[in-house]
Structure 1
Amino acid sequence: MPVLRPLSGAGALRRPALRWTDLLVGVAIIVVFYLTIRATLGAASPLDLATAPSSISTDPAHLPYYALRSLLRMFVALIASTVFTFMVATAAARLPRVEKIVLPALDILQSVPILGFLSVTVTGFIALFPGSTLGLEAASVFAIFTSQAWNMAFSFHASLVSQSRDLDEAARLMRLSKWQRFWKLDVPSGMIPLVWNGMMSFGGGWFFLAASEAISVGDKTYALPGVGAYVAAAVEQGQLDRVGWAILAMIVMVLGTNFLFWRPLVAWAERFRQEDTAAVDRPRSLVLDLLAHSSIPRGLGRAFAPVGRGLDRATRPFGVAEHPLFVPRLRRRAGDVVMALVVIAGILYGAYWASEFIGSTIGFGSFGEAFGLGLITFIRVLVIIILATLIWVPVGVWVGMNPKVSKLAQPVVQLLASFPANFLFPFVIAFFVAVGIPLDIGGILLMALGSQWYILFNVIAGASAIPTDLRQAMESFRLTPWQRWRKLILPGIFPAYVTGGITAAGGAWNASIVSEIVSYNHNTLIAPGLGSYIAQATSGGDMARVLVGVIVMSVFVVGLNRLFWRRLYRVAETRFSL
């Protein structure tokens, strides 16, 4: 019979030894809090619209502070985009009535250019925070949010609708609450593509940083301290050396964000891979290893555990998370009728207001000019999608299916995707002028720099999510390379490619606003197209033409999504979901 020996008093009261990793993680948390508070204090400073500057200083000594302010806006927008994604994409995937509204709404919102959002919302944000910089900061964050949220929502929705039926049945048999199902099944099953698309969306936010930090209200422009506004001021003054300093700061910011934030997330997300066979070589992260050896993250997790249990108990009265959610037929039909009436009433009211405004200002004949310019921009978008597919699908598969290659290529891809191409526009314009390339053709390159990466990142995410056991099965069957592509790779990446194609096309339309009209040192090059039409109308304060341009761009994007991309989306859901 075993003998139970009492623990000594010293041993029972001994605390865990303090590790050097705990000290390092603790110091890092303190530094992050300090920098966040300092940037937040600057964002909440008083503001007088009458005396607010239209540009900021281009002294390179201010770049560290500008970088801090820009990073704060980017991460606040990323947090808002993640919350939006979880709420909207989950509702669309679980409620068929909501899906019929949400997906077309996302199509429309994705097609609205960032300048269109800013021109409509900035006045409201300023009125919401009178006498404070928070109004302009909120407008800037919202503009960055609009460059991130739609791509993430599409990605998470695609993961939910292609969810494994076995796991779905297991969740229902275990009678999980809605809160439990969301965190134990929905989020883990979509974590890998969500992380990669979040990384891509974050990079897309950098592209529009200059537009979001130099905000126009009527005929006046307000500049917020940030790297984007710094570049805009340097370009306006023709200071190429200062643009070079901003490019160096951007490289440091992108690589630092990748090393400290995205790379650990990619490595951490690997634990949610759905497969029976463990991958031989998974992504690693030095930062994640340090956090794993520290007791601080586990302590914070235990501290917040009661919050999760409380939310679980709060959602229990709403029933378990059945899929699909059971709704009586009569109530479902009544709900469809009510929702359809509300949507139709909203559309009719908006159409009436827009028609009255346009008819009383520039007339409906302006739509003919806008549609003609839209066809020109559409040709550029089509060329970008075709070339990006031919180039980046093989590259994305190669990177996604080789963890060693992914480890080396991810920082490079992240730098290329995140680096704002418009920072290089002054040098590109000089090259176009020297070589004699018109902006009609050169604009395709500028638009591609801001959109092609959506296809690459989604293909990488789709290829990396293919289960290892399926890969090993293909090797055991000794298939030829073409058979492997046809039987495994193309079906495996097809849902991710469709998501990337939708967002890349929307990103190309959005990028046309800053790619079809470019300026440097008071010299402006203009390419005919819908993007330059909207940009010129915005700079001139012509809200009627801005509205016409936004409507026409929405018609193009939504029409193409409905006629082409959504059909591929349904094929991906029904035939090629793992």
Structure 2
Amino acid sequence: MAWSVALASLALLATFGRMAAALLVTVALAYAIAYAMYRSRRVESLMLPVLDVLQSVPILGFFPVALYVFVYVFPLAGAEVAAVFLIFTSMAWNIIFSVYQSFKTLPREYLEMARLYLNERLELGHVLVPAALRGIYYNIPISWANAFFFITASEVITLGTEVKLFGIGSLVVESFDRGDYQTAYVGIALGVLGNVALYLTLWRRLTREVPQPPGAVAEALGAWLKYGWHVVAALAAALLFAAVYYGVGASPSLPHLAEFLRGVAVSAAEVPLTLLRVLAVMALSGAVGLAALYIVVRNPSWETAVLLAVSLLSSIPAVFLYPLLGALVRGEALAVLLLLPGAVVYAVLNTVAAWRDVPQDLARAYGIGGRAYLLHILIPASLPYLITGLLTTWGGAWNASIVAEPLAGVHGLGSLMAKAADRGDMPLLLASVAVMTGVVVAVNKYLWKRLYEEAARWR
């Protein structure tokens, strides 16, 4: 038992170290990219659709880059860099959009006063950098939970060949594979407790107090705002070149057009199965979000407990939940339940944020309760927030399918993608990634964004 605890503790520290590194990279890139978008309409028009597509790409879609660039180019440390890169892809996008939104909504009079009394260096470091901190702090727990949910995929990179790193995700998987259930369950318990401790000691403090960086750090970030975009653009170009160059050289199975099109057809046939599960998860997430909102509206002191519970649930990887849920349910029910943690957090966090907008005084004054309260007070007041949450839940559920469907043993696009990665079937993997990304982006653009704009009028 002591050995299992020690081993799992070291594995958790290794995982948290990679995640912390990815988080630092995320914040740095978020500032650089968001500021460039804020300052230049050309960059904004280029990056908004690029980011929209990238946030819809499942983690398996980044495996070729992780394997053929980082692992092959950097034989010694490449696996670690690849893992940090994959973790970054699980936590970056909402933080980047948050910083961008903070810059775009900064009151014009603040900027005018800053330009009147401060030089550019002080303006960047002491106006723009702090302006984004609240949004960053609020999104860090969500990003951390999402990255931890996919941690097994980040530490066990499978694309025909397998690259495995020491960490809590790989330890739990290996322990289950060899029948060492004690170490596996100790690892699961420590993973949950570690995230609880982080939330209670760090994340909650950040969101409540919004601590400001020291002056020197703020000014360094200000300098990074000014020049960081050039670094990011150069790194992106180098990464793209390396991905093409080493990918073509290292993988003889890169798809010809005919193979890719066959893969698209096969992938498209699996879409309806996953779509039905995603819709079920969205319905459950919406119901959970409204239930959580009802609890918080009635008992505001419970807000922290509700958010903590949901954040922790969303951070538990599906492979951690499988032994428990797999003993209770099978098939479709198991697939939906494994999908739920990776998606429900978005609906709950956004919906609970509406509790201050619920007109409690009106309900009390007119004695509105029960079903009437739900239909005429709670749901209308929370609808804009709920739609915002479901918009993100939609993408989160699709991405979670690559983990949940294989574990549940059901057919679907996520299961197909995971099998393609296991076999190293590059044509099918790229085709399935393209289909999933296309579905998510298309629905976001033509349905969810219209609903979001309509809901924004309710705010």
Shorter-chain TM-score tier = 0.7 to 0.9
Aligned equivalent of 1:220: 161
Aligned pair partner of 2:418 in 507, 523, 535: 535
Q: Mean alpha-carbon deviation: is it higher for 99-108 or for 379-388?
A: 99-108
Q: Deviations over 1:269-297 (max 9, x none)?
A: 3x8xxxxxxxxxxxxxxxxxxxxxxxxx9
Aligned partners of 1:93 and 1:160 also within 8 Å: yes
Question: Equivalent residue for 1:407?
Answer: 304
- Cα distance in structure 1, aligned partners of 2:222 and 2:378: 39
Q: TM-score, normalised by structure 1?
A: 0.65
| Counterpart pick for 2:354 among 460, 463, 480 | 463
Q: Which residue does 1:544 correspond to in 2?
A: 427
Distance in 2 between the 1:78 and 1:315 partners?
A: 17
Counterpart residue identity of residue 320, structure 2: F
Identify unmatched segments of 5+ residues in structure 2.
Answer: 228-240
* Partner of residue 197 from structure 1, selected from 120, 134, 139: 139
2:215 maps to: 305
Matches within 5 A, 1:487-498: 494=384, 496-498=385-387
- CA distance in structure 1 between the partners assigned to 2:446 and 2:376 by the alignment: 25
Matched, 1:431 2:328: yes
Is the CA contact (8 Å cut-off) linking 1:254 and 1:419 kept in structure 2?
Answer: no
3-state DSSP of counterpart to 1:136: helix
Higher gyration radius (CA): 1
How many residue pairs get aligned? The number is: 432
Superposition deviation, residue 560 in structure 1:
0.6
Q: CA deviation at 1:403?
A: 5.1
With structure 2 as the length reference, what TM-score do the two structures score? Answer: 0.81
Deviation at 1:473, TM superposition (A): 10
Alignment of 1:467-546 (within 5 A): 478=365, 494=384, 496-518=385-407, 526-546=409-429
Q: CA deviation at 1:425?
A: 1.0
**Bigger fraction of residues in helix:** 2
Instruction: Look up the SS of the partner of 1:222 in the other structure.
Output: strand
- 1:308 Cα deviation after fit: 4.3
Call closer, same or farther: CA 1:265–1:231 in 2, change over 3 Å: same
Alpha-carbon separation, structure 2, partners of 1:376 and 1:235: 28
CA–CA distance in structure 2, aligned partners of residues 537 and 236 of structure 1: 21
Which amino acid counterpart does residue 431 of structure 1 have in structure 2? Answer: L
Which residue does the alignment assign to 2:97? 154
* Equivalent residue letter for 1:226: G
Structure 1 equivalent of residue 197 of structure 2:
256
Structure 1 residue 88 corresponds to structure 2 residue 88: no
SS in 2 for 1:431: coil
Deviation at 1:475, TM superposition (A): 6.3
Q: 1:401-435 deviations in whole A, cap 9, x for unaligned?
A: 96521233343333222222321213322333xxx
Deviation track 1:243-300 (CA, whole Å, cap 9, x = no partner) reads 211122112211211122112112213x8xxxxxxxxxxxxxxxxxxxxxxxxx9xxx
Deviations 1:420-467 (A, max 9, x none): 2321213322333xxxx3x2342122111211112212333x337x5x
- CA distance in 2 between counterparts of 1:155 and 1:402 reads 29
Helix, strand or coil for the counterpart of 2:354?
Answer: helix
AA paired with 2:415?
A: S
Q: Give the Cα separation in 1 of the matches to 2:326 and 2:304.
A: 34
User: CA 1:509–1:399 in structure 2 vs 1: closer, same or farther (change >3 Å)?
Assistant: same
8 Å CA contact 1:231, 1:243 repeated in 2: yes
Provide the residue aligned with 1:449 in structure 2: 341
Partner Cα distance (1:119, 1:448) in 2: 27
Q: Distance in 1 between matches of 2:171 and 2:452?
A: 41
How far apart, in 2, do the equivalents of 1:198 and 1:311 lie?
Answer: 18
Deviation at 1:169, TM superposition (A): 2.7
Query: In the alignment, what sits opposite 2:61?
Result: 116
How big is the shift at 1:230?
A: 0.5
Task: Find the aligned partners of 1:397 and 1:168 in 2 and give their Cα distance.
Answer: 37
Structure 2 counterpart of 1:516, one-letter code: E
- Picking from 441, 444, 452, the partner of 1:561 is 444
**Distance in 2 between residues matched to 1:492 and 1:214, nearest whole Å:** 40
Aligned residue identity for 2:346: Y
Q: Residue by residue, what CA displacement relative to the aligned partner does 1:79-121 show, whole Å, maximum 9, x if unpaired?
A: 2222233333344455443333323222211221112202332
How far 1:398 moved relative to its partner?
Answer: 4.5
Structure 2 distance, partners of 1:372, 1:410, is 37
Tell me which of 155, 172, 183 is aligned to 2:112.
172
Assess if the C-alpha contact under 8 Å between 1:177 and 1:316 holds in 2: no
Local SS of the residue matching 2:157: strand
**Residue 282 of structure 2 aligns with which residue?**
385
Secondary structure in structure 2 of the residue aligned to 1:362: helix
Q: Distance in 2 between matches of 1:489 and 1:375?
A: 29
Deviation of the 1:474 alpha carbon: 5.7
Q: 1:397 to 1:246 in 2, by over 3 A?
A: same
Q: Does 1:141 align with 2:84?
A: yes
Counterpart residue type for residue 182 of structure 2: D
Q: Note the C-alpha offset of 1:365.
A: 3.1
Q: Say whether the 8 Å CA contact 1:400–1:463 is kept in structure 2.
A: no
Is residue 229 of structure 1 aligned with residue 170 of structure 2? Answer: yes
Q: 1:108, 1:558 within 8 Å by CA — same for their partners in 2?
A: yes
1:101 is aligned to 46
Structure 1 residue aligned with 2:10: 65
> What fraction of aligned residue pairs are identical, expressed as a percent?
30
- Distance, in Å, in 2 between the alignment partners of 1:561 and 1:408 is 31
Inter-partner Cα distance in structure 1 for 2:120 and 2:297? 32
Matches within 5 A, 1:42-57: none
Q: Shift of the alpha carbon at 1:535?
A: 0.5
Is 2:124–2:222's contact at 8 Å kept on the other side of the alignment? no
CA RMSD of aligned residues (A): 3.8
Matched-pair contact (CA < 8 Å) for 1:377–1:531: yes
Residue range with higher mean Cα deviation, 95-104 or 384-393: 95-104
